[in-house]
Chain A
């Protein structure tokens, strides 16, 4: 069996581990379009702010590929697929054959239309290379002021990193508040206050329409409301979309991302997809959609790996979840944090001074979403309750209490959770 994986992120590595658990003999190849052995994308903001050194970027050991007998092809981009012949076409017409393929190409940043987008000094922020180039640019050009377009997770992390480098940053967000896709109004407001406290400048209900240059480099950003901001560096972070370039023109069905079933298979036999590039089951919403978050990508990769190696494993589905510390405030948000429709019950606890914010969203007495800011103790229990669809009717009023724990949960559920199924306690 000849396994090939396009991609070298968490999905790919999980898939390798799963395959090698079952099949130690077959050939296993990873094709990555980046030159690095391995690295964790979420860490690039820490690399930029110099909180960590480059040697901390890998998330698996150096000898991982050797130990797992993986042939690693770096710096080669998979341009397209020949589905019938089962070949991957690399950039310079080189072909790699496969028996079973996993597409784990991840996501790509969305670049909006605005004038001046090809100037020097405009960057996206998703790859290690981006962090290195930004750092170099900042040093070389002695950047003092910057603009970040996009107040989402990536934009804010980038802004935080640049503020730490003592550069004045203005964040421009299209919605009426930052993190509109992840948080509710209260949570967003806490981060907005914190951001301004550390020196960030926030402009909402706005976006960049044109970037002006001086000596071919960025010098000014013009906003929708005609405001002009001086900037020597612009980071565009308005969102990511699944990277599905490689399947363009093939018979592989896609929507926004590559469509997969509950066994991570595409519509083509022997071709699988996992991670940010695919649309897999969202167990909370009951539909398939991309969920671009690390733990989800890792678990999808694992399921894909097992199925590729002949072990039938069904993916139970996942849901949105994010853990991110912003301006020194830890935050965890899972599930539907801010549903707009009717029929949801919301429990809140808000202490503006500490700040601590807790929000639980329920539907039919089942938890469907939660936000924790400031105090994230034991947040995972709520994630588990969402996943297992536990009826919280009998202990709803305890959910936000300080002493909430497994002891509040129904005895039977708790006993089996703690000791594993089939063991009598």
Chain B
């Protein structure tokens, strides 16, 4: 519904302290949410990495930093290996990969909230607008 609470919770989940008040007020540089909320008139939706079966970013990565997690099948980026060549940004048809704005020359994207039971955007959307489905 355009409230952008998904953005808020994504930011908190990817902050250092994972505490909503500290993340917004205390952390510097400001943590970066990994999803994009698109809005036009009364239409809005949250867009995260689709963790594509046939992911173009996986192919385009020149360092092997992009990989698929064996357990969750999510596409993740190993920041130590990423050199910020932005090839993945060039090929992602959803435009959901961004450049890290916290001072590192690496990419920033949805990681399905590794370590959490459900992605926090799904859990906290007040209108149950985001659905996380497992598909074979």
* Contact present between A and B (CB < 8 A): yes
Total A-B pairs, Cβ < 8 A: 111
Is the Cβ of B62 less than 8 Å from the Cβ of A405? no
Residues of A within 8 Å of B44, CB to CB, are 407
- The count of residues in chain B whose C-beta lies closer than 8 Å to any C-beta of chain A is 33
Residues of B within 8 Å of A322, CB to CB, are 90
Is the Cβ of A377 less than 8 Å from the Cβ of B90? no
Nearest A residue (CB) for B86: A323
Is the Cβ of A299 less than 8 Å from the Cβ of B90? no
In the complex, chain A residues 153-193 whose Cβ is within 8 Å of any chain B Cβ: none
Is the Cβ of A377 less than 8 Å from the Cβ of B95? yes
Nearest A residue (CB) for B56: A295
Is the Cβ of A380 less than 8 Å from the Cβ of B89? yes
Tell me the complex Cα distance, A383–B84, Å: 19
The answer to whether the Cβ of B91 comes within 8 Å of any Cβ in the partner chain is yes
Is the Cβ of B64 less than 8 Å from the Cβ of A59? yes
Choose the segment among A40-48, A132-140, A212-220 that binds chain B (4+ C-beta atoms closer than 8 Å): A40-48
Tell me the complex Cα distance, A332–B19, Å: 36
**Contacts A299-B59, A405-B38; A384 near B86 (Cβ below 8 A):** no
The answer to whether the Cβ of A58 comes within 8 Å of any Cβ in the partner chain is yes
Is the Cβ of B62 less than 8 Å from the Cβ of A40? yes
- The count of residues in chain A whose C-beta lies closer than 8 Å to any C-beta of chain B is 42
Tell me the complex Cα distance, A119–B34, Å: 52
Tell me the complex Cα distance, A113–B94, Å: 46
Is the Cβ of B38 less than 8 Å from the Cβ of A324? no
Is the Cβ of B45 less than 8 Å from the Cβ of A407? yes
Is the Cβ of A380 less than 8 Å from the Cβ of B99? no
Is the Cβ of A330 less than 8 Å from the Cβ of B86? yes
Is the Cβ of B95 less than 8 Å from the Cβ of A406? yes
A-B complex: 9 closest residue pairs judged by Cβ atoms: A378-B95, A384-B93, A295-B60, A380-B92, A59-B64, A407-B38, A298-B59, A381-B95, A323-B90
Residues of B within 8 A of A (CB): 36, 38-40, 43-45, 47, 50, 56, 59-64, 81, 83-95, 97-99
Residues of A within 8 A of B (CB): 10, 14, 40, 42-43, 46, 51-52, 56, 58-61, 294-295, 298-299, 302, 321-325, 330, 332, 334, 376-381, 383-384, 387, 403, 405-408, 417-418
